[in-house]
């Protein structure tokens, strides 16, 4: 199992992966500080 | 989220298995405007075409994030008329996280999803009865009040 979350950083790539894996997307808006 | 929730082993396992994680700064355009982002953290659950179905604002500990995401995934399925998949995710909340903040809404949506599947009123009344018994102070117990008459 992964030891950290592997975040996508671009919507286009995330949607492509979501369609490929047939999963929803978690979009996290964060404050990088 | 970075200090407590995202490093949690169960959270990593859940997200890796169930959802595609996408992270962007709160002011990244056009997403910030498209999703009307005013505070962080804001977590949004989208379907695979990018349409929003659920959001939550503010910190969540691991034992709340997982059921919150299960509810979000269930809402994706529910709003796409995939009621059996919605029910499956809702039942995970009720089985594994019955004390979570997501649980009362899960009971409500479970009843509605079963009604949508069976077209019988009984699941709605069962949802009302469970909410009044197990979550009497929740807003979802109030929302289910009309189902007491079924």
Nearest residue, CB atoms, A14 vs list B20, B35, B73: B20
Residue B135: pLDDT over 80: yes
* Contact criterion met (CB below 8 Å) for B40 and B27: no
Residue A1, pLDDT score: 63
Residue A14: pLDDT over 70: yes
Per CB-CB distance under 8 Å, the chain B contacts of A16 are none
Nearest residue, CB atoms, B76 vs list A19, A24, A29: A24
Residue B3, pLDDT score: 87
Residue A3, pLDDT score: 82
Spatial CA neighbour of B128 closest among B113, B103, B148, B104: B148
Over residues B35-53, mean pLDDT: 97
Q: Where are the alpha helices (DSSP H) in chain B?
A: 9-18, 31-34, 62-79, 83-96, 103-118, 122-134, 139-143
Class assignment of domain B9-149?
A: mainly alpha
Q: For residue B113, give every residue at least 6 positions away whose Cβ sits within 8 Å of its Cβ, in sequence order, or none.
A: B74, B78, B83, B86, B87, B90
CB contact under 8 A, A28 and B32: no
Residue A2: pLDDT over 80: no
Per CB-CB distance under 8 Å, the chain A contacts of B28 are 29
Nearest residue, CB atoms, A29 vs list B9, B40, B69: B40
The per-residue pLDDT for range B72-117, each reduced to its tens digit, is: 999 999 999 999 999 999 999 999 999 999 999 999 999 999 999 9
- Rounded distance between C-alpha atoms, residue B119 and residue B110, angstroms: 13
Whole-number average pLDDT of chain B: 97
The per-residue pLDDT for range B17-34, each reduced to its tens digit, is: 999 999 999 999 999 999
* Ranges of each domain in chain B: 9-149
Query: Scanning every residue of chain A, which has its alpha carbon at the shortest distance from the alpha carbon of B68?
Result: A26
Q: What is the pTM of this model?
A: 0.95
Residue B32, pLDDT score: 97
């Amino acid at each position: 199992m992964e030891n950290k979350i592997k975040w996508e950083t671009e919507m286009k790539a995330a949607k492509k992966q979501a369609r490929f894996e047939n999963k929803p997307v978690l979009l996290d808006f964060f404050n990088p500080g | 989220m970075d200090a407590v929730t995202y490093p949690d082993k169960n959270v990593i396992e859940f997200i890796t298995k169930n959802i595609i994680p996408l992270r962007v700064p709160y002011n990244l355009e056009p997403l910030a405007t498209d999703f009307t982002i005013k505070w962080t953290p804001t977590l949004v659950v989208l379907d695979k075409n990018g349409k929003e179905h659920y959001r939550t604002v503010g910190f969540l500990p691991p034992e709340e994030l997982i059921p919150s995401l299960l509810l979000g995934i269930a809402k994706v399925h529910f709003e796409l008329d995939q009621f059996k998949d919605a029910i499956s995710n809702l039942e995970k909340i009720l089985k594994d996280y019955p004390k979570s903040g997501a649980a009362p809404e899960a009971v409500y949506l479970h009843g509605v999803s079963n009604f949508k599947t069976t077209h019988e009123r009984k699941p709605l009344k069962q949802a009302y009865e469970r909410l009044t018994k197990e979550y009497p102070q929740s807003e979802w117990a109030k929302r289910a009040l009309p189902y007491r008459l079924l």
